């Protein structure tokens, strides 16, 4: 059985966006897996991977790190699942992965950074504050005064995807596919860590998210 090393917070809350993307992909494709909860400070438990980040997918004595590599590994090892329907789907998926990790998650971080300690416990809180405050060169509350403009910026940035969702229902087309999985973590992250209204309830992207949530909730050990 596949093992997914998955970031875990207070009360075993799972909140990592790329981990959620992989879980949604596995669930949607009916691929059986189990998750191994990892706290920020549990670096010894993932030392075998010779790096410090999750998700990590482990199968027997092999492992893959980074959500994009994991998706490619799944595509290669489960050809019957057709995770990438074709090469265009693979290219667009790669764009979504890069756009999400390089541009969208940093905007979302500014919106929820100060709330993340609420979903952590013990030494993870200290670890999070230390590493993130070093990274942003200031207090974790640094971006708080600009939350509403960051939300506006995010809503506007995803306009092209909104248009696709309005036209098709899902990013992948009439049915959810890998492109939807790669975009899902953005919203799940904010949803579980923050009390903010990232999306208006009338936003078609909100309805899209709720549809994916039903799939994501189908199975989690």
Ligand X SMILES: N[C@@H](CCC(=O)N[C@@H](CS)C(=O)NCC(=O)O)C(=O)O
User: What residue ranges bind ligand X (CB under 6 A)?
Assistant: 7, 16-18, 40, 52-55, 66-67, 101, 131
Task: Find, among 1, 5, 7, 4, the residue nearest to 188 by Cα.
Answer: 7
Supply the minimum distance, in Å, between the C-beta of residue 207 and ligand X.
26
Q: Give 95 or 159: the residue with its C-beta nearer to ligand X.
A: 95
Supply the minimum distance, in Å, between the C-beta of residue 64 and ligand X.
10
- C-alpha distances out from residue 28 to 21, 40, 115, 194, Å: 11, 27, 30, 26
Supply the minimum distance, in Å, between the C-beta of residue 9 and ligand X.
11
Supply the minimum distance, in Å, between the C-beta of residue 1 and ligand X.
21
Contact present, 111 and 147 (Cβ < 8 Å)? yes
Task: Find, among 181, 173, 164, 175, the residue nearest to 19 by Cα.
Answer: 181
Supply the minimum distance, in Å, between the C-beta of residue 96 and ligand X.
11
Q: Whole-angstrom Cα distance, residue 84 to residue 76?
A: 10
Cα 120 to its chain centre, rounded Å, is: 17
Q: Give 130 or 152: the residue with its C-beta nearer to ligand X.
A: 130
Q: Give 45 or 81: the residue with its C-beta nearer to ligand X.
A: 45
Q: Give 54 or 112: the residue with its C-beta nearer to ligand X.
A: 54
Q: Whole-angstrom Cα distance, residue 215 to residue 221?
A: 14
Q: Give 177 or 188: the residue with its C-beta nearer to ligand X.
A: 188
């Amino acid at each position: 059985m596949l093992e997914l090393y998955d970031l875990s917070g207070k009360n075993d809350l799972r909140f990592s966006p790329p981990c959620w993307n992989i879980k949604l992909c596995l669930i949607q494709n009916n691929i059986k897996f189990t998750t191994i909860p990892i706290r920020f400070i549990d670096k010894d438990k993932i030392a075998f991977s010779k790096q410090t980040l999750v998700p990590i997918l482990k199968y027997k004595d092999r492992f893959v790190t980074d959500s994009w590599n994991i998706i490619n590994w799944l595509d290669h090892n489960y050809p019957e699942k057709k995770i990438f329907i074709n090469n265009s789907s693979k290219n667009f998926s790669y764009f979504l992965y890069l756009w999400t990790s390089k541009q969208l998650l940093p905007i979302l971080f500014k919106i929820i950074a100060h709330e993340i300690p609420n979903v952590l416990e013990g030494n993870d809180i200290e670890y999070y504050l230390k590493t993130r405050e070093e990274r942003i060169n200031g207090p974790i509350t640094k971006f708080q005064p600009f939350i509403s403009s960051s939300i506006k910026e995010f809503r506007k940035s995803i306009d092209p995807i909104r248009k696709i969702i309005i036209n098709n229902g899902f990013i992948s087309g009439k049915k959810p596919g890998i492109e939807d999985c790669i975009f899902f973590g953005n919203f799940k992250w904010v949803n579980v860590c923050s009390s903010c209204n990232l999306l208006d309830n009338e936003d078609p992207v909100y309805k899209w998210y709720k549809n994916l949530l039903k799939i994501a909730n189908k199975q989690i050990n």
